Chains A and B, each alone.
Chain A
Amino acid sequence: MDRHLRALVLGAALATGLVGSAVAAKTTATIGMRLEPPHLDPTAGAAAAIDEIVYQNIFEGLTQIDESGQVQPDLAESWTISEDGLTYTFKLRDGVTFHDGTSFDAEDVKFSFERAKAEDSTNAQKRIFEPIESITAVDPTTVEIKLSRPAGSFLFDLGWGDAVIVAPESADTNKTDPVGTGAFKFDRWVKGDRVEISSFDDYWGTSAKLTGATFKFIGDPAAALAAVLAGDVDAFPNFPATENLPQLEADPRFDVVVGTTEGETILALNNKRPPFDNKKVRQAISHAIDRQAVIDGAMFGYGTPIGSHFAPHNPAYVDLTGLYAYDPAKAKALLDEAGDGDGFKATLKLPPTTYARRSGEIIASELGKIGIEVEIIPVEWAQWLEEVFRGGDFDMTIVSHTEPLDIDIYARDDYYFGYDNPEFDAIIEKLQSEADTDARNALYEQAQRMIAEDAVNAFLFQLPKAGVWDKNLKGLWANAPIQANDLTDASWQQ
């Protein structure tokens, strides 16, 4: 019987107990998502929402990233790397079929990567394929990839959603009718509302435990809360309203799992533009911000303070949060030293995420206390990309850099915050060719310290991944090493 009618008939108090027994035989799950994807082809768009539906569920790559962020075999069951690091030979799995019945072999790999690398490619991570010099299908289950230069993170990169294997027969229609090799096949997409998938009978690996799943798009945080409370969704892996987590934690029906993401949230400063080109001014700003207040006020206490551009759960992490402790007096003094003792006006462009908008209000108030008069300018993502990210037209902005291990952005030329330090570039260059883990970690540590010393940006907090789900639903990821809702292990516990 319909859930709402039942609630009406039996009354809210009774419903909870009865719903529990009524769903005993449940084999499907409804997953709540904040944003609807523009389309469903992960090789032709940057929207996280695409990967959050299709990654591992519908599409698979040669490698995959697991819950802990490690590289695992996927469509490639093993591989060898030549001595010079330039030739990768992948041994592919046998007996893999796409959802439309066509078989998977080395030619599909060649097709997928050449398509991503092509001139007219619309792959958002085209850089992954840039080092590829040639792809050879040696035999149906062997692929040899030659690189033009060593790429330390190549195997990891191939585990991204942007590098999944598609079939020539269906590549052009994947946007609306995705056909992959995953444990789930696409059923339908009700625009503006949900995407439905169901388990694929001819899957090469262990079949999914769920017979099907629905991804339901609920953008409004209040509606998300209500949907969870009403049982309209079984899980909300990225719950948008941290303020409601305590309430959900107290509710015995749900598990609330706060995990980590790769999202370093920063107050980015335009290092090329006065007065932010002055290190003292940047240091003053770092000292003026009470990170814990930002986390409490904007994230309702969820989030880990960071002191540099590095994820705290990474083994190479160094805690630099003490470097610029909250100290308005010192901040004021630093501004005086910099010759900006009378304060100045600055703009703060905020993209439309809740964390940015909320943090922005708190930071504006805090900077106001040391004499920096902040004008908040809310922008949409399209505008943010054009004006801030590509145009460099901004004083300050708040954004979470969600890509894993992305400290190398500080070495990129013309990156939007305009940091330019040859010493730092050298560290990143060494990292490219360094294979030894300890040596790499040491280099990462050096890099973290350098940008923290220079106070390139004000480093705020690591974005948490707050997942809420029915306590009987097991096998969902606690952390988000990449953007994904891998449901292949999800199941209902009895």
Chain B
Amino acid sequence: MLTFVARKLGGLIATLVVASVVIFAVLEVLPGDPASLMLGVNAQPDTIAALRSELGLDQPAAARYLSWVGGFFVGDFGISYTYRVPVAELIADRAMVSLPLALMALILSTAIALPLGTLAAAGHNRWPDVSIMSFAQLGVAVPNFWFGILLVYLFAVTLRWLPAGGFAGWDAGLGPAFASLALPAIALALPQAAILARVMRSALLDVLHEDYIRTARAKGLTAGSTIWRHGVRNALIPVLTILGLQFAFLIAGTIIIENVFYLPGLGRLIFQAVAQRDLIVVQSLVVLLVASVVTVNFLVDLAYAWVDPRLRHGRR
């Protein structure tokens, strides 16, 4: 097990190093200069040069890369070019919006999907199954940003129950904060729930066809208690895997949804930072996103290995 973990961990670190080089190199060729943008149309060349040296942009690329990566080990991501505050602080602030949003969406989609998936499997090929799966088909096809627009139109513009966008801030109290995250979370959760419900259903059906379930049925357990006592528990393993894999999709989804609802989260930050050529924020943020995706995959691998010892000894 130890060697397995070590090998996986090595892969994780290698991925991160390569990703950091790739992202840094990509941003180097990005046209547009942050200093020039910050000073506008009337700025004189020497003023721009002064700002560039103040920002450290006159250093060679290799030196900037090393000082940036070196900072990681002490939790220092550098200073944002445009905002002039530590990048770590900026990202932490924005994460306070994105992470709760992603978490709310995750909980919401799970809360919707697992019962529906179970219900569909229990009523396999009868009306609950057919109707739930039809809705799931539809849910998968609905783009979350369009769903978001419709939600805004209905609940914010027409009914005025919930804010259409923006974030009240956690210090405004939990009520307003959750109110501003409610519609985005719903918009994010629906397509996710549709996918998850389908996975839950098919995982359950897989389990129900296993021999030990048949045995259980033969011993006289009712369909309902079979599903509950054997099915759901066993089906959760593939479902959890999918949940882990969906993390990356959820992050991508958050980026778009934050733009629909104008939430000051990581997604908006990345768009803003790219537009403002706040490169140090962009590269730190991307590496962080990559790190979180890779870490989740790593954890999923570990969980798998835990469950299925054969995997620890390589794939062949």
Contact = CB atoms under 8 A, between A and B. Distances in A.
Contacts of B253: none
B152 A176 contact: no
A123 B53 CA distance: 14
A403 interface: yes
Interface stretch (B35-43, B117-125, B132-140, B210-218): B35-43
A124 B50 CA distance: 11
A2 B173 contact: yes
Interface stretch (A4-12, A199-207, A286-294): A4-12
Given A219-B262, A382-B275, A226 B165 contact: yes
A173 B82 CA distance: 14
B164 A222 contact: yes
Contacts of A38: 38, 82-84, 276
Nearest to A387: B31
Interface in A210-242: 216-220, 222-223, 225-227, 229-230, 232
B47 interface: yes
Contacts of B42: 46, 124-125, 127, 403
A4 B169 contact: no
A126 interface: yes
Interface stretch (A188-196, A261-269, A422-430, A469-477): A188-196
B27 interface: no
B262 A223 contact: yes
A254 interface: no
Interface string B264-288: 1100110010111100000000000
A451 interface: no
Interface residues of B, number: 58
Contacts of A44: 51
A386 B165 contact: no
A121 interface: yes
Nearest to A48: B40
Contacts of B175: 2, 4-5
Contacts of A380: 32, 274-275
Interface in B258-316: 259-262, 264-265, 268-269, 272, 274-277
A382 B262 contact: no
Interface string B151-195: 010001101111111110100010110010000000000000000
A126 B165 contact: no
B36 A385 contact: yes
B156 A226 contact: yes
A12 B160 CA distance: 6
Interface in A117-136: 119-127
B206 interface: no
Given A46-B39, A120-B50, A385 B84 contact: no
A190 B269 CA distance: 14
A377 to B, nearest CB: 12
Contacts of A8: 161
Contact of A220 (B54, B165, B274): B165
A380 B44 CA distance: 21
A15 interface: yes
Contact of A122 (B31, B51, B93, B173): B51
B162 A193 contact: no
B36 A191 contact: no
B262 A220 contact: yes
Contacts of A5: 175, 179
Nearest to B54: A122
A401 to B, nearest CB: 8
A140 interface: no
B233 to A, nearest CB: 39
A467 interface: no
B166 to A, nearest CB: 6
Contacts of B149: 222
A390 B159 contact: no
A383 interface: yes
Interface in B37-67: 37-44, 46-47, 50-51, 53-54
Interface in A351-384: 352, 380-383
Contact of A218 (B32, B38, B82, B262): B262
Nearest to B275: A380
A421 to B, nearest CB: 21
Interface string A33-62: 000101100001111000000000000000
Contacts of B83: 38-39, 191
Contacts of B50: 119-122
B262 A191 contact: no
Contact of A193 (B46, B54, B166, B176): B166
B85 A191 contact: yes
A46 B264 contact: no
Given A191-B93, A223-B262, A126 B43 contact: yes
A190 B90 CA distance: 10
Interface in B83-129: 83-85, 90, 93-94, 97
Contacts of B167: 192-193
Nearest to B263: A192
A192 B264 contact: yes
Contacts of A230: 156, 160, 163-164
Contact of B84 (A175, A219, A227, A352): A175
B43 A386 contact: no
A227 B34 contact: no
B206 to A, nearest CB: 43
A300 interface: no
A22 B183 CA distance: 27
Given A3-B176, A227-B164, A232-B163, 4 more contacts: A4-B175, A46-B43, A226-B156, A385-B40
5 contacts: A45-B38, A124-B47, A126-B47, A218-B165, A223-B262
8 smallest beta-carbon distances between A and B, as pairs: A46-B40, A192-B264, A226-B164, A382-B32, A223-B165, A38-B82, A220-B262, A223-B262
Interface of A: 2-5, 7-8, 12, 15, 36, 38-39, 44-47, 119-127, 175-176, 190-194, 216-220, 222-223, 225-227, 229-230, 232, 352, 380-383, 385-387, 389-390, 403
